[in-house]
Amino acid sequence: MKNSETKTAAREHHIERAWCKGCGICVHFCPKQVHKLDEEGKACAVRPEDCIGCRLCELRCPDLAIEVIDRQAADRQGKDHE
Amino acid sequence: MPARDYIRERFFPHMWCPGCGHGIVLNALLRAVEALGLDKKNFVMVSGIGCSARISGYVDFHSMHTLHGRALAFATGIKISKPELNVIVPMGDGDAMAIGGNHFIHAARRNIEMTAIVMNNRIYGMTGGQFSPLSGYGTMGTTAPYGNIDHGFNTVDLASSAGATFVARTTTYHARELADFIGQAISHPGFSVLEVLSQCPTQFGRRNKAGDAPEMLESYRTGTARIDSKKKRENPDLIERGIFVQKELPEYCREYERIISKARGE
């Protein structure tokens, strides 16, 4: 994959704001510093284009509030259904 | 959350504190059940009392929230009457090892097919931070303001000695390993015990200067090592993670069926 392609955010981070309690685990352990806590203390993906898709934020979220969506996989799945 | 089909969304956000490890256990459990591809209607979760026990309210399985320490006894009744069900019994360290200690060792001795998950946060969190049988010597709690003088149990050794046929330990930091071990424990045809070191930043962390949730997770990374790993050999004091026991012995429900057939002269 070319670098330019990865920089157009291949993944989307769906964060359930009402469920997030702002513990900061996703922020602390993200190897690419994709997340930060916003002014309300909720997790927010500020650099989604840097995400490498390890899903550690999703797996370690104690609030079950994060889902990493692989756009290309989602597109492929969409095409399969057409 | 990919495993939304397996939760009761109406009860979210859950009641656990920010950064509580029990949420990570729930997260991994849902993934493990999803990966096994089993029908959620065939799962029963039976819990006792405590922060850990609240997990049974969040899963969309059959569930029972029972008496403190007695979850394994209720679960035994369910499993004996409907052996086709997968029975999961999440317990806290106090629930499993203190008030439920006797049920725990005897369920292990019988080798009844169910999955006991000991969510070990080393404290009675819900009641205000009293020390538990897994707090360990020298830790602080509301009932040990000058330091705890009780020595802790080793859950893995206790479960192994009591006869559990699957015994494993991991932590909430090792989230993938956690989901893998939960899956293996559910699939095991006998009594399986999985101890999960699960951080309690509010009650244990604060009193023991263990830091916030990310710091406590970091301590699981640095303070544990896989069985027989180089890291463990070089640092013998590290807590071991991995599968300690995995063997097959006659399972209680199947043995019970055999006795019934024999008594009927079949």
Cβ atoms of B191 and B168 within 8 Å: the answer is: no
Q: What proportions of chain A, in percent to the nearest 5, are helix, strand and coil?
A: 35, 20, 45
pLDDT tens digits, residue range B38-66? Answer: 999 999 999 999 999 999 999 999 999 99
A60 at B interface, C-beta within 8 A: yes
Residues of A in contact with B179 (CB under 8 A): 59
pLDDT value of residue B49: 97
Helix axes B71-81, B252-263, angle to 10 degrees: 50
B13 at A interface, C-beta within 8 A: yes
Cβ atoms of B58 and B8 within 8 Å: the answer is: yes
Reduce the DSSP state of residue B262 to 3 states and report it: helix
Q: Do the Cβ atoms of B213 and A59 come within 8 Å?
A: no
pLDDT band at B4 (very low <50, low <70, confident <90, very high): confident
pLDDT value of residue A75: 72
Distance of residue A66 Cα from the nearest chain B Cα, in angstroms: 6
pLDDT band at A72 (very low <50, low <70, confident <90, very high): confident
User: In chain A, positions 17-46, which contact chain B (CB-CB < 8 Å)?
Assistant: 18-25, 27-29
* Residue of B52, B138, B60, B141 whose CA lies nearest to B99: B52
pLDDT value of residue A8: 73
Residues of A in contact with B181 (CB under 8 A): none
* Residue of B20, B164, B39 whose CA lies nearest to B89: B164
pLDDT value of residue B266: 86
pLDDT value of residue A7: 64
Q: Do the Cβ atoms of B172 and A67 come within 8 Å?
A: no
In the predicted structure, residue B94 carries a pLDDT above the cut 90: yes
Mean predicted confidence (pLDDT) in A27-53 = 96
Q: Nearest chain B residue to A66 by CA: give it.
A: B1
> What is the distance between the alpha carbons of residues A19 and B173, in angstroms, rounded to a whole number?
20
pLDDT band at A76 (very low <50, low <70, confident <90, very high): low
Distance of residue A43 Cα from the nearest chain B Cα, in angstroms: 12
pLDDT value of residue B71: 98
Strand B191-197 and strand B239-246: pairing? Answer: unpaired
Q: What is the DSSP letter of B153?
A: P
Q: Do the Cβ atoms of A60 and B18 come within 8 Å?
A: no
Q: Is the peptide bond before B236 cis (omega within 30 degrees of 0)?
A: no
Distance of residue A23 Cα from the nearest chain B Cα, in angstroms: 5
pLDDT tens digits, residue range B174-225? Answer: 999 999 999 999 999 999 999 999 999 999 999 999 999 999 999 999 999 9
Q: Nearest chain A residue to B23 by CA: give it.
A: A62
Instruction: Domains for chain B: give ranges and CATH numbers.
Output: 3-263 (3.40.50.970)
Distance of residue B46 Cα from the nearest chain A Cα, in angstroms: 21
A12 at B interface, C-beta within 8 A: no
pLDDT value of residue A3: 45
